[in-house]
Chains A and B, each alone.
Chain A
Amino acid sequence: MGNRARTAHVEFRGISKSYDGRTLVVKNLDLSIRTGEFVTFLGPSGSGKTTILMMLAGFQSPTAGEILLDGRPIQDLPARKRGIGMVFQNYALFPHMTVGANLAFPLEVRNVGAEERTELVDRVLRLVRLEGFADRRPSQLSGGQQQRVAIARALVFEPELVLMDEPLGALDRSLRDEMQYEIRRIHRTLDVTVVYVTHDQQEAMVMSDRIAVLREGIVEQIAVPEGLYEEPERAFVARFIGESNLLKGRVTAVLDEVCEVETGGEKVHALKVVACETGDPVTLSIRPERVAINSVPGRYKNEVSATVEDLTFLGDQLRVRLTACGRSDFIVTIPNIVGHSPLLRGDSVRIGWTALDCRALNHERS
């Protein structure tokens, strides 16, 4: 497995898609996916992620641009000839066939011999831990089991690329968590390339090698999960991945990597992520857990005064809502560890954070 060349398996080149000829649901997508990689398209509904998947699967054709699979353009190849496994949103198991027949179906249409068929089906059933379920009908299985069958069916004919379109959407929370690890395990076992679509950021974080955050047909940022969280490049990503205090402000000074920004009457220093000059509007992103309350004065580059508005106890952390920088929804979370100082509603406090944890991003309209 490891000796397989880590080359581009899938490549989108200038892909655009419009259904009505006017509005583009996918705009000029350029993206390359390596062999064996697990890439997730993450975005709210309407962001174009499913359209991208459907174009890759062959159910939609791009309005412009080309899609390469192993270096060959595939726009003119019908879906059935692309050899791509696909897991659909609601499983799309064939209800009139048993589990075994569902799994044998892609092999039969490929004229795989009966003996080999049985062997492959058994193997994939073991892979998804459903040995002995071959004779059941899909309707006799639980949601999670149906999901496993759907995944097994997309894998049984040993495709090198598997697409998954919100496969866990219909499952409840705990089952979804379990299945995320299951899919990750299967991915690692088989070393196939997976392109995954979801609107659930946690799901994306758990499984993906890289995540492409989509918004209105545009990839806002593509990065490894840690990168998206720690170094969001766009305000939308900062908001969509994890939680962020997003403060609007105006640049008052620029010094190399850092800029000085005026927001809500306070002057703060921020890491210059977006190219900006004095006078430009920017959005500052500050993660709630990177803000300290009442720490030693002068320890942080940025220190402002604030008033505690609300306290919420969440078990592992304390969530504090403050008025600061001219806003009353400034959130700070404090891990529930020994020794943090008690706070009361109405307390006046000092909060502080480093310039590195305060990212100056593109100005966002709303």
Chain B
Amino acid sequence: MAGSLRVSARLHRRAQLRAFGLVAPLLIFVGLTFVTPLATMLVRSVYDPVVADALPETQMLLKDWDGEEGLPSEAVYAAVAKELKRAGAERTLGQVASRINRVQGGLRSALARTERALRDVEQGPWRETMGAIDPIWADPATWHAIQATGERFTSRHYLNALDLQRLPSGAVVAQPQERRIYLRLFWRTIIVSSIITLLCLALGYPIALLIARSPPHRANLLLILVLVPFWTSLLVRTTAWIVLLQTQGVLNDLLVVLGLINDDGRLAMVYNMTGTIVAMTHVLLPFMVLPLYSVMRGIPSVHMKAAASLGAKPLQAFLRVYWPQSLPGVGAGALLVFILAIGYYITPALVGGSDGQLISNMIAYHMQTSLNWGLAAALGGVLLVGVLVLYAVYDRLVGVERMGLG
């Protein structure tokens, strides 16, 4: 009895192993291409060991400095001099300096200058020598910056992403007015994405309805028309919108010719929020139409007849019978469009103008230009949390299992 149980357990385990073996390639693929980069980025948003690794002794000695009573001791100066020289020799100084520079602008070149000047200096007194090389060494702010970047695990990037900063005293306060940028962009991104989602829904719902109710051959044709934008490059599509919408563009020309506006009153429809919304709605429309269509195709057309035969007016029949059944598609499409919209950056970059920038443009900037990957990751992390919250709300309201992605 016990033996046969063991055998069956072994067989069961073997079956499980085989099943695991079959999905292993997919797991590895997803792990390598999705989970790993995502996890790496999230780790980067809180973990930054560069300064701590390059200046370990300085960091240790700085722990004894309370930051209130002037400059640190000579021992700290000696340690930082030694470690700057080593970082210079190992070519890690640039990375160290760029991190410290982010906390206190202007330190990058000063650190490089100090390192160059110190190459030939073997003896102290370090405080005086360094103070003579650059005035930054007489400024406590420099040491606060070194101290702040010296933590391996840091909340700095997340605070930054939320327009907050930590004072040397440890208190968390809002950034000064002229540096507050991300919260505003988060809000704008959410609002713009919501508008785009609503527009996509308003435009996509009738299209999806039409396709779902067409005979198969015409439905195929219409679907192809919906998908055509996918076959052209995003840049081409966006440029086409510029041609259409710009001040001297097709649409304005048409309005002038029709006499609806006069030549001086041409409308600014691109290089501003309007342009961003129009172009992104166009780009994202298929992501609304497809889930809607796939859900609507599953709604028998006889339901509308049934409602009519039961005495419902067309609007009543639509609102009470059709709309609720299409909700899973609405939910899926809206979620898809919204999530894609908050992550879009090429279109806003091209047609956005000064007020059409979204948070992803800042993420792209920090990824590509400023190389502040920690901050980019933190901004992405905040965005991810936002999406997850949204998903949870959606799950609570509609139920994810009812989401119809087709």
User: Does a CB–CB distance below 8 Å link A and B in the complex?
Assistant: yes
Residue A94 is within 8 A (CB to CB) of chain B in the complex? yes
Residue B310 is within 8 A (CB to CB) of chain A in the complex? yes
Residue B257 is within 8 A (CB to CB) of chain A in the complex? no
- Selecting from A79-87, A129-137, A198-206, A222-230, the interface stretch reads A79-87
Task: Report whether A105 and B325 are in contact in the complex, using a CB–CB cutoff of 8 Å.
Answer: no
Report chain B residues within 8 Å CB of A157. 310-311
Task: Report whether B324 and A96 are in contact in the complex, using a CB–CB cutoff of 8 Å.
Answer: yes
In the assembled complex, the Cα of A84 lies from the Cα of B303 at a distance in Å of: 16
Return the chain B residue nearest A95 by Cβ: B325
CB-CB under 8 A for A78 and B308, given A92-B300, A96-B324, A96-B325: yes
Report chain B residues within 8 Å CB of A79. 305, 308-309
In the assembled complex, the Cα of A110 lies from the Cα of B313 at a distance in Å of: 10
CB-CB under 8 A for A80 and B325, given A88-B305, A92-B302, A105-B320: no
Report chain A residues within 8 Å CB of B300. 90, 92
**In chain A between 72 and 112, which residues have their CB closer than 8 angstroms to a CB of chain B?**
78-86, 88-90, 92, 94-96, 105-106, 109-110
Judged by DSSP, the binding face of A is loop
Residue B61 is within 8 A (CB to CB) of chain A in the complex? no
Residue A313 is within 8 A (CB to CB) of chain B in the complex? no
Task: Report whether B305 and A80 are in contact in the complex, using a CB–CB cutoff of 8 Å.
Answer: no
Residue A153 is within 8 A (CB to CB) of chain B in the complex? yes
Chain A 212-243 per-residue mask, 1 if CB under 8 angstroms from chain B, else 0: 00000000000000000000000000000000
In the assembled complex, the Cα of A271 lies from the Cα of B309 at a distance in Å of: 46
CB-CB under 8 A for A92 and B308, given A80-B313, A105-B320, A109-B313: no
Residue B89 is within 8 A (CB to CB) of chain A in the complex? no
**In chain B between 79 and 134, which residues have their CB closer than 8 angstroms to a CB of chain A?**
none
Residue B50 is within 8 A (CB to CB) of chain A in the complex? no
**In chain A between 256 and 292, which residues have their CB closer than 8 angstroms to a CB of chain B?**
none
Task: Report whether B309 and A86 are in contact in the complex, using a CB–CB cutoff of 8 Å.
Answer: yes
CB-CB under 8 A for A105 and B305, given A90-B300, A96-B324: no
CB-CB under 8 A for A153 and B310, given A88-B305, A94-B303: yes
In the assembled complex, the Cα of A84 lies from the Cα of B327 at a distance in Å of: 29
In the assembled complex, the Cα of A79 lies from the Cα of B321 at a distance in Å of: 16
Task: Report whether A106 and B311 are in contact in the complex, using a CB–CB cutoff of 8 Å.
Answer: yes
Residue B307 is within 8 A (CB to CB) of chain A in the complex? yes
In the assembled complex, the Cα of A85 lies from the Cα of B305 at a distance in Å of: 11
In the assembled complex, the Cα of A152 lies from the Cα of B320 at a distance in Å of: 19
In the assembled complex, the Cα of A85 lies from the Cα of B327 at a distance in Å of: 28
Task: Report whether B311 and A109 are in contact in the complex, using a CB–CB cutoff of 8 Å.
Answer: yes
Known pairs A79-B305, A80-B311; list 6 more (Cβ under 8 Å).
A59-B308, A90-B302, A92-B302, A106-B311, A106-B312, A109-B310
Which residues of A approach B to under 8 Å, CB–CB? Answer: 57-59, 78-86, 88-90, 92, 94-96, 105-106, 109-110, 153-154, 157
Which residues of B approach A to under 8 Å, CB–CB? Answer: 300, 302-303, 305-313, 316, 320-321, 324-325, 327
A/B interface sample: 28 pairs, CB < 8 A: A57-B309, A58-B309, A59-B308, A78-B308, A79-B305, A80-B308, A80-B310, A80-B311, A86-B305, A88-B305, A88-B306, A89-B302, A92-B300, A92-B302, A92-B305, A92-B306, A95-B325, A96-B327, A105-B310, A105-B312, A106-B311, A109-B310, A109-B311, A109-B313, A153-B310, A154-B309, A157-B310, A157-B311
